[in-house]
Amino acid sequence: MSTRLSDLMDCFQGVVPTGIATCSLDGRPNVTFLSYVKYLDERHVALSCQFFNKTKRNIAENPVAAIWLMHPVTLEAHRLVIRFLRSEFKGPLFDEMALRIDVIASHTGMSGVFRLLSADIYEVLEIEPVEGHVLPAAEAAEALAAPPVAFRVKGTRGELAALQALSDRISRAECLERLIDALLDSTTELFDVQHAMVLLYDETRSRLYTLDSRGYGRGGSGAEVGLGEGLIGAVARSRKPLRVSHAGSDLRYGRAIRRGVEGSKEADKLSREIPLPGLHDAQSQLVLPLVARGRLVGVLALESRDPLKFSDWHESFLNVAANQAALAIANLQEQEEPEDARPAGESKRLKPLAGRKRAFTFYPQDDAVFVDGQYLIRNLPGRILWKILREFVSGKRHEFTNRELRLDNALGLPPLKDNLESRLILLRKRLEEKCPDVRMVPVRRGAFALESDSELTLSESAQP
């Protein structure tokens, strides 16, 4: 074979339609479009089977098929002749392919209805370039010649230098906030990714919450995703990375199937479609689980409007960085930060500026805090904010220590792995986004002061 299967990697990403032809034993051909072909090695590909359809029946009779593949950018075509070898119903390949299907199902409200039946493995017998499908043009060669990754770190070993820079920044981070900054800044700067977010896992509620992000503007912190929900939730549940190169196409595919299910006996199992987090028009996503010592710590999610932004290479490479970041996050979460021995209350309390006012309202039903009628934060960070606001407004104090928050039974912090630091980071970021005139300012290790340029009024409401 003059063309290697690995030369066609971009063609497997499903951006443009892939045709598959089969033939029954009575000589009747069949043709349909595939959503996804998975490269396994130089001689094998896998197709996902979600329905027992005519292609599958033909293959059971006559195991040879022909595939028409096109490059998603240049549209140059290749014809593959493949032969069915076996179906896998469990194992790493099945799990990996099922994850992609689960994500589509979850987004389009079809969890439990639309699922992978088998990962079908085929041997590649022939690879034939289709000459004359596209007119020759210098542009095609130009596009293909572009390097897959635009490293900001230059040099003969740019990729290693980028990984080293990222690793160094993570290693040097002294606290969780600096660590998350290092991870997000390194990812976006060194790997030329504009949109990235880190979500941490709250074990007590089985949910992920966005701690920090880059490229989404203000207001992203605190957004939550349930375990198993959508792309991020599915990655968190499976603890396996996932790369989607054609998010729009996947959703259209999922919706087409959903329309079919709507008219079937399984229609009552459908649930609502879940909005995509982050960019509404993202075309490619790479989501990496942050796992340390077998425990889910969180998720690093990257997005792009470029449908081919992330390659296999990105997935492997950034997974190394994600693993190191996960260990560092877990270490910082598990060690209680040493506190400075000085007593609280030594910093100067600021006076509010004349005429500026803020009204905070607490809703005990879900521990939600609103500021000037706008949602600010809820759950445990909401309870923490309400405690410090009350003590601040009553004039008692304006400095607080992490230790006293841990010892306050009314706040209900879990006895182990309380993630207090990440919750305080989230609270600080939400205040920065929603009311920057009220701030939580670190005054020394393990302690912070509440500062306000506004006069604060507090109220509680039983009505949600």
Partner 1 sequence: MRARLAPLISGLAVIDETLADFLQSGLACAVATRDARLVPDCVLAVGVRIERDRRHATVFVHDTISRRTLANLKHNGQIAVTLEHLPDHHAIQLKGEVTRVAAATEADIADATRFHAGFVKEIEYVGVAPRFSRRLAFLPCHAVTFRVEAIFEQTPGPKAGACLKEAP
Interface stretch with partner 1, choices 77-85, 149-157, 217-225, 423-431 (CB under 8 A): 77-85
Strand partners, 449: 399, 441
Sole residue written with tokens 């992609």: 100
30 binds partner 1 (CB under 8 A): yes
276 binds partner 1 (CB under 8 A): no
- Cα–Cα distances (Å) from 145 to 74, 78, 246, in that order, read 12, 19, 22
> Which of 8, 11, 12, 22 touches partner 1 (CB under 8 A)?
22
Residue 437, burial from CB neighbour count under 10 angstroms (0-12, 13-18, 19+): middle
111 binds partner 1 (CB under 8 A): no
27 binds partner 1 (CB under 8 A): yes
Give the other-Cβ count within 10 Å of 253's Cβ.
18
| Closest approach of partner 1 to the CB of residue 80, in Å | 9
53 binds partner 1 (CB under 8 A): yes
19 binds partner 1 (CB under 8 A): yes
Gyration radius of the chain over CA positions:
26
Query: What token pair was written down for 71?
Result: 């490059």
Give the total of residues touching partner 1 (CB under 8 A). Answer: 61
201 binds partner 1 (CB under 8 A): no
Alpha helices, DSSP H, located in 204-288:
230-238, 247-262
Mask of contacts with partner 1, 55-74, x by CB under 8 A?
A: -------x-xxxxx-x-xxx
> Which of 1, 60, 85, 130 touches partner 1 (CB under 8 A)?
130
Q: Which residues, in sequence order, are CB contacts of 22 under 8 Å at separation 6+?
A: 29, 30, 31, 54, 55, 58, 59, 62, 64, 65
Mask of contacts with partner 1, 238-257, x by CB under 8 A?
A: --------x-xx--xx-xxx
141 binds partner 1 (CB under 8 A): no
> Which of 77, 105, 225, 413 touches partner 1 (CB under 8 A)?
77
- Cα–Cα distances (Å) from 135 to 77, 138, 140, 459, in that order, read 12, 10, 10, 71
Phi, psi of 384 (to 5 degrees): -65, -45
Q: What is the DSSP letter of 422?
A: H
**Closer Cβ to partner 1, 148 or 155, answer by number:** 148
172 binds partner 1 (CB under 8 A): no
Q: Angle formed by the axes of helices 92-107 and 230-238, to 10°?
A: 150
Sole residue written with tokens 């596009």: 143
| Closest approach of partner 1 to the CB of residue 260, in Å | 3
**Closer Cβ to partner 1, 26 or 366, answer by number:** 26
- The footprint of partner 1 on residues 297-336 (CB under 8 A) is 307
What is the chain's length?
464
Strand partners, 242: 287
85 binds partner 1 (CB under 8 A): no
Q: Collapse the DSSP code of 83 into the 3-class scheme (helix H, G, I; strand E, B; otherwise coil) and give the result.
A: strand
**Closer Cβ to partner 1, 67 or 325, answer by number:** 67
Of 402, 408, 394, 406, nearest to 425 by C-alpha is: 402
| Closest approach of partner 1 to the CB of residue 261, in Å | 6
Mask of contacts with partner 1, 33-52, x by CB under 8 A?
A: x-x---------------x-
Strand partners, 442: 448
204 binds partner 1 (CB under 8 A): no
| Closest approach of partner 1 to the CB of residue 199, in Å | 27
| Closest approach of partner 1 to the CB of residue 121, in Å | 19
Q: Which residues, in sequence order, are CB contacts of 102 under 8 Å at separation 6+?
A: 111, 115, 116, 228, 234, 238
> Which of 9, 40, 81, 359 touches partner 1 (CB under 8 A)?
81
**What H or E segment, with its residue span, contains residue 303?**
strand 295-304
Site residues (vs partner 1, CB under 8 A): 15-17, 19-23, 25, 27-33, 35, 51, 53-54, 62, 64-68, 70, 72-75, 77, 79, 81, 130-135, 137, 139-140, 143, 246, 248-249, 252-253, 255-261, 263-264, 266, 283, 307
